[in-house]
Amino acid sequence: MGRLFGTDGVRGVANADLTAELALGLSVAAAHVLAEAGTFEGHRPTAVVGRDPRASGEFLESAVVAGLASAGVDVLRVGVLPTPAVAYLTGALGADLGVMLSASHNPMPDNGIKFFARGGHKLADELEDRIEALYTSHGAGEPWDRPTGGGVGRVRNYDEGFDNYVAHLIGVLPNRLDGLKVVLDEANGAAARVSPEAFARAGAEVVTIAADPDGLNINDGCGSTHLSLVRDAVLEHGADLGIAHDGDADRCLAVDAEGNEVDGDQILAVLALGLREQGHLRKNTVVATVMSNLGFKLAMEREGIELVQTAVGDRYVLEEMKREGFALGGEQSGHVIILDHATTGDGTLTGLMLAARITATGRGLRDLASVMDRLPQVLVNVPDVDKSRVDSSAELAAAVADAERELGATGRVLLRPSGTEPLVRVMVEAPDTEQARSVAGRLADAVKSALG
């Protein structure tokens, strides 16, 4: 698998890359690293463990729980809940560690392990590196220091987690959703119970689809990566909007009453205006990545809201938000972070806040989302090239300069080496799709010529 930890925990094909032995060993290593860092000092440590409904999550959860308990950590097992719920409960219950078993929007054969530090925040890179190093050294035969007798961890189910999390979601809503009809596509994932319950308690009329997980059907033709399902349901039921989550419900995408897609950039724009109106958009700033649509940047400029852009990845958005004290950030993919109420992207919270904006203003989602015009965006992946030379090739720099002169202020070019594959991503935005495709095609050819 190479380096175990990626940008979002450890992920791979369950029982092939991600085995029970690996899950157990990483959990023991995490407990030891956090103990050495002083996290457990002066008290008996506690961990919150949750999972999405993938079949493999059942044995992987058992392995994680066994590893933590064998290292002297008491475990609160919360069962099937969204990733942001595990993060919230880790903080709310004062736990020292949170563990979520999920591969998010990946297909069912995959699974993953994500660790949260005290407070429900993602572990720092440095701690992940130490966990991986410790796990590797013990895999080479170095024995663990294990407690015995009353020193071993105790395990119990924490069934109150569901109600605690839903109550939290309802408690932070600025207004109720009475009179709103919402279709919820739960991706047959972790939010299949939570999201419909939260929307219903908030007063909405709820229609649920893909909300019957069987362990095998998560993300299968549904959820935030397959919006046709929720679009059709919105039109069929005459709903005011549709919300689509991914498998672990840290994402939210939407469709309006006419079935038009509302992506993460548009959701950010709507929520930014709402938070500013309520006096909660700290420093009058929203955080997004360099992949955000140029239309979003232009809309924020027009509305007088500052935009800070980061590298691609919700962890970089979150780092910038925490460093500068910003309240709102996110990605085009639907990872939206509302830092006053969540420590990570929370798809259910995002959907509730979007719906609350509709009822508060009396305006439809299409009208609200029209605050920004989405410029046509074309993305081309160029494989089998030397991605390390993207920034040093004079030939490529000249091609980019030519493209930027052609587009002027009405478009944008971005060349980005993939973080995981031997390819370069070419992204072009332009006033019309044909021009974007033409420029992207020429740049892709230039990448092949310069870096091939």
Which CA distances in Å does 236 have to 3, 183, 212, 220, 262?
46, 10, 20, 21, 18
Binding-site entries: 104, 246, 248, 250
Helix (H) or strand (E) holding 90: helix 83-92
Q: Which of 342, 343, 338, 373 is nearest to 357 (CA)?
A: 338
Q: What is the DSSP string of 416-442?
A: EE-SSSSEEEEEEE-SSHHHHHHHHHH
> Would you call 104 a catalytic residue per the annotation?
yes
Enumerate residues 6+ apart whose C-beta is below 8 A from 171.
none
Helix residue ranges per DSSP H, 285-393: 294-303, 314-324, 347-361, 365-369
3-state secondary structure 385-423: CCHHHCCCCHHHHHHHHHHHHHHHHHCEEEEEECCCCCE
Binding-site entries for Mg(2+): 104, 246, 248, 250
- Rounded-to-integer distance, Cα 109 and Cα 215, Å: 10
Tell me the pairing of strands 97-101 and 110-117: antiparallel
If you search the block for the tokens 């007063």, which residue do you land on? 203
Give the length of the chain: 452
Cα 137 to chain centroid distance, Å, stands at 31
Q: Which of 104, 224, 333, 393 is catalytic?
A: 104
Report the b/e string of 221-257 with b at 16+ CB within 10 A. ebbbbbbebbbebbeeeebbbbbbbbbbbbbbbbbbb
Q: Which two tokens stand for residue 264?
A: 């993460």
Would you please indicate which residues are annotated as catalytic (active-site) residues? 104
